[in-house]
Structure 1
Amino acid sequence: MTVLPDMTETQIRRYARHIVLPEIGGIGQSRLIAAKVLVIGAGGLGAPALQYLAAAGIGTLGVIDDDTVDLSNLQRQIIHRTADIGAAKTDSARRALTEINPEVTVQPHQERLTVANAERIIAGYDVVADGSDNFATRYLLNDTCYRLRKTLVSAAILRFDGQISTYKPWLGAAHPCLRCIFPAAPSEDAVPSCAQAGVLGALAGTLGALQATEVVKEILGIGRSLSGRLLTYDALDASFEEMAITKRADCPTCGAA
């Protein structure tokens, strides 16, 4: 059982706008301070998600990324500065998050998520936010989080479109996983990358902020979860659409759950 920390006077002032919300209050804020969240990627989605999670007071933020900051990243990866070009993204992210909230413990993982290290890294966190940019990582996260029973909040963006959902399939028939929607990854040439097709920089902020919101909701157990629903956003049309997701009996990951 997690022991909730007592808040200092400084923390009460910092998180005052959370504490006055009846859905959060002092107990809820203490839960956020005690929480451990792993963010996959310090890129377009991870950058805003990390910043809002740090500001919200998540006690421990893990960030995994094996890349360095490039000039082309700065159009959307707002956690990094021009001065950070060439630096490891995890180091740049740690610097930025510490400046936002020095009380947050940032745990950088300067490596690529693989079959060999996924369970070891993910096991130490309560919730995972997926901001990866490739299908192999997304499926690895889906399968590993299912085995470890870790809530996964996953988002994706391309051009002017974004989508987000939450996966916790071990909870039963109303809670599908990523493979229930996409049983297998498409071919490499079927879906272009952001480098190939482009992406609106501000779109990353929209979906990254939504990820942070859903992570906070899952930690606190408030509101309606996105589990079982896929939310899509069309930036050009300024519209959101929602579709129900059902668990597949033949899902290779959670079909028996």
Structure 2
Amino acid sequence: MPPQPVAAPVSAPVEPGPALTGPERARYARQLALPGFGETAQRRLRAARVAVVGAGGLGSPVISYLAAAGVGALVVVDDDVVEASNLQRQVLHGVEDLGRAKADSAARAVHRLDPGVVVEPVRERLTDANADRLLAGCDLVVDGADNFATRYAVADACARLGLPEVFGSVLRFDAQVGVFWPGRGATYRDVFPAPPPAGSVASCAEAGVLGALCGVVGSVMAVEAVKVLTGTGRPLVDRLLVLDALTMSWRAVRVRAAQEGAAPAPAPAPAPEPEEPLPADAVVAPRELARLLAAGEVLLVDVRTPAERELAALPGAVPVPLAQVLDGTADLPRDRPVVLHCRSGARSELAVRALRARGRADAAHLDGGLLAWAAQVDPSLPVA
């Protein structure tokens, strides 16, 4: 079979920087030898400024490989600190980094790899209010966030600023990777117009994630970032790459930009009015719940996923899918009050609000979820 033609390169968003030094040529020799890459592409990388949102499971390989590839400046945006449960997949951090800000830990790791890479650690959560400020002056944004609010804030800012965005997500054994580029292809909101209802999608902490899958997906994201920055090959613009790690099958899904004339990305909106707090009788403290359970006075309902319950469960808890509680199809006994629980209290609060809105005045939820239960009642409960 004759060799297949290489896809026409896209125009790069970065102008080449200064000529490479001798040590730089030695360091990047394997990349310089790539057909169609060469010194010009390497100089583009050295001149590039990339924002990586999230220094966790996806951010770890992205930051490592972009620094190793020779990206000149990295802005690492993350407001979290390193915890023991992170180390299973967030390989940028180590035991010595426990309690340290992830942005600072990432900067230390990059400095060990290449002191010549400029790293700006930003210990803030990216929001609609600060996104434009944090991303200003960047050539590309890599979205490795772990929540929908941040994802949409990143996407809307990239649409306003005209920045290419490399997107990735992982959950359990599944993953997605794509490149969103306003003006050249689909944007994040073209594919995902609005976030899902709060609590309807489990987080990695709740549903689990295969650690090595973060490395696979983060590496693909780094490859796409390098391709965009250097104008090499055909990036995943207008395509979403979907991975099922259990069968190790990849498939590319075509996506399309909204029609011309569609409304532009929304400007930052004011924060919504906070929801009315639950009445006192709708919230049960862990020690009070322990007393009620011992007396047999309440029915305990677990709205977490089956995978979460396999890791840790409270004795006697009845599993009921959150979706059934929210849509009213859950058949909950009425012979005694019900107390709902999840991992942190966020999903069970949604559930109790739904039940009370339908007249179930005896419904309550465990304040702080299993995390609070483990802290105040049973420290042996595995909830990390």
Q: Under TM normalisation by the shorter chain, which class is it?
A: over 0.9
1:195 aligns to 2:205 (yes or no): yes
Q: Which amino acid aligns with 1:219?
A: L
Is residue 217 of structure 1 aligned with residue 217 of structure 2?
no
Q: Which runs of 4+ in 1 moved over 6 A?
A: none
In 2, distance between residues paired with 1:32 and 1:3?
8
Matched, 1:185 2:176: no
C-alpha distance in 2, partners of 1:118/1:152? 13
- Indicate the residue corresponding to 1:176 in structure 2: 186
Match of 1:238 in 2: 248
Q: For 1:206 and 1:231, how far apart are their aligned partners in 2?
A: 12
CA contact under 8 A between 1:37 and 1:60: conserved in structure 2?
yes
Pick the aligned partner of 1:126 from 139, 164, 167. Answer: 139
CA deviation after TM superposition for structure 1 residue 189, in Å: 2.1
- SS of the residue corresponding to residue 86 of structure 2 reads helix
- The secondary structure found in structure 1 opposite 2:179 is strand
What is the distance in 2 between the residues matched to 1:150 and 1:51?
Answer: 22
The alignment partner of 2:250 has SS state of strand
Residues 1:83 and 2:83 are matched in the alignment: no
Question: Measured at CA, do residues 170 and 103 of structure 1 come closer, stay the same or move farther in structure 2, by a change above 3 Å?
Answer: same
Q: Is the 8 A contact 2:16 2:41 kept in 1?
A: no
The match for 2:156 is 143
CA contact (8 A) 1:160 1:236 kept: yes
Q: State whether structure 2 residue 238 is matched by structure 1 residue 228.
A: yes
Pairing 1:1-257 to 2, within 5 Å after superposition: 2=15, 4-171=17-184, 175-249=185-259, 252-253=263-264
- Give a deviation string over 1:50-91, Cα, whole Å, max 9, x none: 000000000001100001000000000000001100001011
TM-score (norm 1): 0.94
**Equivalent residue, structure 1, for 2:328:** none
CA contact (8 A) 2:163 2:182 kept: no
| Equivalent-residue separation in structure 2 for 1:194 and 1:115 (angstroms) | 23
Structure 1 residue 247 displacement after superposition: 2.0
Q: CA deviation at 1:28?
A: 1.0
State the one-letter code of the partner of 2:58.
L
Instruction: Report Cα offsets for 1:152-205 as digits up to 9, x if no partner.
Output: 00000000010011011222xxx1111111211101222100000000000000
Answer yes or no: is the 8 Å Cα contact 1:143–1:253 preserved in 2: no
- Aligned-pair identity (%): 48
Distance in 2, matches of 1:8 and 1:38, equals: 25
Task: Give me the whole-angstrom Cα distance separating, in 2, the residues matched to 1:162 and 1:228.
Answer: 17
Bigger radius of gyration = 2
Determine the C-alpha separation between the residues in 1 that align with 2:106 and 2:254: 35
Mapped to 2, the partners of 1:2 and 1:187 lie a distance apart of: 42
Please list every run of 5 or more consecutive structure 1 residues that lacks an aligned counterpart in the other structure.
Answer: none
Q: Which letter maps to 1:165? A: G
Q: Is the 8 A contact 1:130 1:154 kept in 2?
A: yes
Letter in 2 for 1:207: V
Structure 1: distance between partners of 2:27 and 2:107: 20
Deviation (angstroms), 1:254:
5.8
Which residue number in structure 1 is paired with residue 369 of structure 2? none
Which piece of structure 1 moves more, 45-54 or 220-229?
220-229
- 8 Å CA contact retained: 2:41, 2:230: yes
| Relative contact order higher in (CA < 8 Å, ≥ 6 apart) | 1
Asked whether the equivalents of residues 144 and 168 of structure 2 are also in contact (C-alpha less than 8 Å), the reply is yes
The size of the alignment, in residue pairs, is: 252
CA distance in 2 between counterparts of 1:215 and 1:179 reads 20
1:179–1:253 CA contact under 8 A, matched in 2: no
Q: Which letter maps to 1:127?
A: L
1:251 is displaced (CA, Å) by 5.7
Q: Distance in 1 between matches of 2:114 and 2:27?
A: 9
CA contact (8 A) 2:158 2:182 kept: no
